[in-house]
Amino acid sequence: MTTRHDTSSEPVSSAPTTNVGAKAAGFLLVAISLAWILNLPMLVKVPLYNEQPLACAVGLSLAVTAFLLSDRARGALRLAAYLAGCVLLAIMLTIAWRYPQLTILAVMRPLWLTLSAYAVIAGLGFLVWRYVGLPVVLIVALFSLLALFGGPFGIPETPVGRWAIYMLTDPNALLGTPVRVAVEIVIPFVLFGELLRHSGGSDFLTRISFAIFGRYRGGSAKAAVGTSALFGTITGNAVSNVVSTGIMTIPLMKRAGLSASTASAVEAAASTGGQLLPPVMGAAAFVMADYIQVPYHDVIIAAALPAALYFGAIFLQVDRLAARKDVREIDKGERMTFRHAFREGGHFALPFLVMFLVLFNLQTRPQMAAIAAIIVLVLVSVVRPYRGVRLTPRILLRVVVDTGMSVAPLLLITAAAGLIIGLISLTGLGFSIAGQAIALSGGHKIVLLILVALIAILFGMGMPTVAVYVVLATILAPALQDTGLEPMQAHLFILYFGMMSMLTPPVALASITAARIGGANMWRTSFEALKLAWVAYLVPFLFAFSPELLLGGTWHGATLAAITAFGGIAAVSMGAAGYARSELSPPMRAVYIIAGLCLMLPPALGHAVAIVNIIAAVLLIALLATSPARGTASRQQDRSIRP
């Protein structure tokens, strides 16, 4: 058991443990989440403040992580870690029990409440450091110093007692939106993903992907992309995707002829896209929906086309790379037919259909869609086991426990994100920074977008996606909206660049994980993954100037924007891979990339841009029509996509 978990903003699977305390706390964490979602307290006539179950959840998360940390310690340190977990849990349970009176107590600042706040903040900071890393803790510390001692922009000093109690009890701080979203929405979706994995659903998704893509050129790489995309629909976790699919796909890609770094990069880039792919896009997307006060299905609709652009670019680059390096399809002995795969596990489509029905037709809360999908999945598994695997009561209990232990580090991150929001609110720093950002950009949208993108990438190098999103959404999203961006555009822009921490060195956890599986150099893998995922750095600028890409305008406008974007991305991908109908020389690669970038310019910017689009399109069509294709024998050997 390592003491440093995944630093992504989404939960990761816990390593097996015999720690009874961690298991019990993990079970109770999921139980509280489900009970609160199903409104059980009101059914038994026990009305609660929203913050009461959240305080219990935070306390249980602190206990789980402290108990798991004790597994690695020895002697007195082991006992100290366990006792610290018990103390932190007791404090948060006391806060939950006495929360109705805290509005009065917070003003009086009793000593026990002040000391409790110090203990929780210190314990949270230590555990976040051990599980996530130092940058998040440093951000909280910096903002706390500004609140306590004042600073630039006319920030007033705050008494230390008021600061501590505010951080612990205020609904805009520790027990705020990020923790609420994690408890109410993320936990049931993670539970659904874990149930799907234990019922054989993840194996089915892998087999379906291999059946669909494995018979084509570069089948192993395309299957890796397809499998990661399918996994992304249920996990929204880059590192989990790499671990789940990379163990099978990376060795296959290496055997097919790709280098270790390229195979690892394909897996890392594809798995990172899981945070962008509906219906489950990771914790940050749920926080975003709540932050901008829109139904989650609106976020799904807006994110659909950009996600298609991302995966389309990766697929095309993989195909061109396979053509250039003569990467063959997967051998028939290593894959089954689509009909056979679907006959075995087609029933797994039913929970997804129910999820979409509840989300879009009934337009209810996303957590209810997850609950409905969980119920259907359990019933389907009992009625029709997959390859002999059935969700028995023993397995269900283990899944609930594992889910609780895996989401506990996530709740620590969301709690820290809540502290950041509370500190920004306490100091009024958000308004000051937004004004300074606009002044620095001179009021030019493109300059401000580049500035925000650079800050997001910088923050993302040491912070998980949800923390990056919360910080920048609080202090810079208002500035983006002041330049004319709609809330959905501004917040998706920030989300995209915050997500890229999974690929951006030196953190690049998705790339590091894939490189370890593939036995590749981490730095080479990271830079190859960045090259494959280049579209993620460009698409946010496209939808910032062309809201049609978020399906927010007219259908004909969205269609035109999609065509130019897809066409431009295809051309740039060919140039980046160095292969169109045949291998491209360096000058021709540059021509394809430049023409593709010109074609990608949003037509909505004006007639001059539309003319540039037309010229670029004509040039690319002419290049493709006149460029020499490989000889017949070569084509037969290469074999492009075959029926």
The three state secondary structure string of 564-624 is HHHHHHHHHHHHHHCECCCECCHHHHHHHHHHHHHHHCCHHHCHHHHHHHHHHHHHHHHHH
The pLDDT score that the predictor gives to residue 441 is 84
The pLDDT score that the predictor gives to residue 633 is 36
Which of the two residues, 13 and 563, has the higher pLDDT score? 563
The pLDDT score that the predictor gives to residue 7 is 36
Using DSSP's 3-state secondary structure scheme, residue 386 falls into strand
Mean pLDDT of 317-345: 83
The pLDDT score that the predictor gives to residue 641 is 44
Q: Does 36 fall in a domain? A: no
pLDDT at 492 over 90: yes
Backbone angles phi, psi at 294, to 5 degrees: -130, 155
Split at pLDDT 50, 70, 90, the class of 141 is very high
CB distance 240 to 10 below 8 Å = yes
pLDDT at 163 over 80: yes
Q: Which residue has the tokens 């003491």?
A: 3
pLDDT at 262 over 50: yes
Q: Does 301 fall in a domain? A: yes
Average pLDDT along the chain: 85
Q: Is 124 exposed, middle or buried (0-12, 13-18, 19+ CB in 10 A)?
A: buried
Split at pLDDT 50, 70, 90, the class of 491 is very high
pLDDT > 90: what percent of the chain? Answer: 35
Measure Cα distances from 1 to 131, 400, 512 in Å.
12, 20, 18
pLDDT at 243 over 90: no
Instruction: Specify the number of domains making up the chain.
Output: 2
Split at pLDDT 50, 70, 90, the class of 16 is low
Question: 91-128, pLDDT tens digit by residue?
Answer: 999 999 999 888 788 788 889 999 999 999 999 999 99
- Give the Cβ contact number of residue 393 at 10 Å: 7
Q: Does 233 fall in a domain? A: yes
* Segment among 322-326, 376-380, 407-411 with least mean pLDDT: 322-326
Q: Does 373 fall in a domain? A: yes
Split at pLDDT 50, 70, 90, the class of 5 is very low
The pLDDT score that the predictor gives to residue 462 is 62
Q: Does 548 fall in a domain? A: no
The pLDDT score that the predictor gives to residue 153 is 63
Which of the two residues, 541 and 359, has the higher pLDDT score? 541
Split at pLDDT 50, 70, 90, the class of 67 is very high
pLDDT at 557 over 90: no
Specify the amino acid at residue 394: R
Mean pLDDT of 574-583: 85
Q: Does 605 fall in a domain? A: yes
Which of the two residues, 284 and 403, has the higher pLDDT score? 403
Give the span between the Cα atoms of 441 and 456, in whole angstroms: 16
Domain's final residue, options 361, 377, 408: 408
pLDDT at 284 over 80: no
pTM (2 decimals)?
Answer: 0.85
Say what angle helices 201-213 and 338-345 make with each other, to 10 degrees: 160
The pLDDT score that the predictor gives to residue 544 is 92
Q: Does 379 fall in a domain? A: yes
pLDDT at 296 over 60: yes
Measure Cα distances from 502 to 45, 128, 348, 427 in Å.
45, 18, 29, 31
The pLDDT score that the predictor gives to residue 14 is 44
Per the structure, the complete domain to which residue 253 belongs is given by: 185-408
Domain's final residue, options 371, 391, 408: 408
The pLDDT score that the predictor gives to residue 95 is 94
Question: 321-331, pLDDT tens digit by residue?
Answer: 888 888 878 77
Q: Does 503 fall in a domain? A: no
The pLDDT score that the predictor gives to residue 568 is 93
Both tokens of 494, joined, read 């920030």
Split at pLDDT 50, 70, 90, the class of 630 is low
Give the span between the Cα atoms of 85 and 262, in whole angstroms: 43
Domain's final residue, options 353, 381, 408: 408
b/e per residue 250-266 (b: at least 16 CB within 10 A):
bbbbbebbbbbbbbbbb
